[in-house]
Amino acid sequence: MLEPGEHLLKSIVGMLLSILLLSWLLKRFRQPYFSAYIIAGILLGPHGLQLFTDVTTIAQIGSLGLIMQMFFIGAEIEVPALLKNIRTSAIGVFIQLVLSFVFIGAIGHHLGWNTDRVVLFSFVITLSSSAIILEYLHKNNEIHSRLGNLTTGILILQDFLIVPMIVVLNFLAKEESNVEQLALAVVVTLLFVLSLRMLMLKKKVLIPGFTGFHPDHELQVFIGLLLCFGFAWMTSLLHLSAAMGAMFAGVIIAQTNSMEWLDRTLIPFRVFFLSLFFVSIGLQLDWGFVKEHFTLIAILVILIFSINSFINACVFRLLKETWKNSLYAGALLSQIGEFSLVLCTVAKTLNLVDDFSFQLTLAVISVTMLLSSGWVSVIRSFLFRTSVSGE
């Protein structure tokens, strides 16, 4: 009988025990579970207790959780509300980019940064965390409010931007830039919007033959995983984001009558794999680097929260939201998201940033993720005595 190695079992037990204890502790302070996952990664990683040293493998497995998260985000999208706000969301994302370039350009000019670094960091602060924000909105029953729908639209369009951003980074690195890939991303985005409109007109989609899987739980699991990762694989073949394909699959599934069982069937897989994704963030973080440059990281985190909150509050105010809702939305979108990690990794591969800048950016992203829930809760409790308007 082939048995797992002792080190593997010890690592898994250590991870599960750490996550359980940290989750229990942080829950007492009303903090989300993903904070426990990141801290567990820091404690158990190559810069901690060294239970996990193969960061790349864990990160690759964890990326499956990000794909599944986007699948569930797609399944929760209210297509009519999304289409109603799609133009407004697009304007919001454009204003975000412009203001990000203005702020980062001013800072970069003062610090003597080159164009490559200004562009990269402008991209990085533009992308917020869909996983964190949508979980927060869902927990507070705001996901289907007017503000929630607009925020969801902005997050989706941000996720679509990852492909053209990578193309721009390749251009800056003087690598061969694939203009066809950029054009393909635009075409797929337009097809996505067109498909949403068709789904809205059709109201419900019935997939022939799938009703027979309803009573069989084991087949449900494999059908659900096939749909999620199948769509992700197809978009990756087009050199686009796999998460984009998974989200589109979720949108289609949400419109079906025969696939309503997918939600409860795949939730355990989403929880497990998404936890590995956040653990992998902690694994990559050099705690010694954080301690050595604690003051610099703290200043940058405060700046990021302040700048992003201000930028996004201005965006929502320009989109005719109230000042209260705008400030709340600004706080929601103030952290740096998971796709910014992808951009930083690409930039490091292209030698656009050195090891110091990469570790510094990784540390800032991780800390903003860890503190984002507390930041939003403080802003929300200060602004609102009742529920968010527009629910």
pLDDT band for position 391 (50/70/90)? very low
- Predicted pLDDT at 305: 94
The mean per-residue pLDDT over the stretch 105-109 comes to: 89
| Confidence at residue 352, expressed as pLDDT on a 0 to 100 scale | 87
Residue 60, pLDDT score: 79
Distance CA 300, CA 361 (A): 9
β-sheet bridge partners, residue 205: 256
Domain range annotation of the chain: 54-383
Most confident residue range from 47-61, 172-186, 213-227, 297-311 = 297-311
Mean pLDDT of 206-230: 71
Strand partners, 256: 205
Give me the mean pLDDT over the 96-117 stretch: 89
The mean pLDDT value for 300-315 works out to 93
Contact 383, 327 (CB under 8 A): yes
For tokens 């359980």, the residue is: 20
Q: CA 210, 212, 215, 221 torsion: positive or negative?
A: negative
**Mean pLDDT value across the chain:** 81
Q: Which CATH number fits the domain 54-383, given the four candidates 2.115.10.20, 3.30.230.10, 1.20.1530.20, 2.40.160.40?
A: 1.20.1530.20
Which is higher by pLDDT, 202 or 111?
111
Residue 292 — pLDDT band, cuts 50, 70, 90?
Answer: very high
* 62-75 residue pLDDT tens: 788 888 888 887 77
Considering the entire predicted model, what is its pTM?
0.81
Percent of the chain surpassing pLDDT 70: 84
What's the mean pLDDT in 346-362? 87
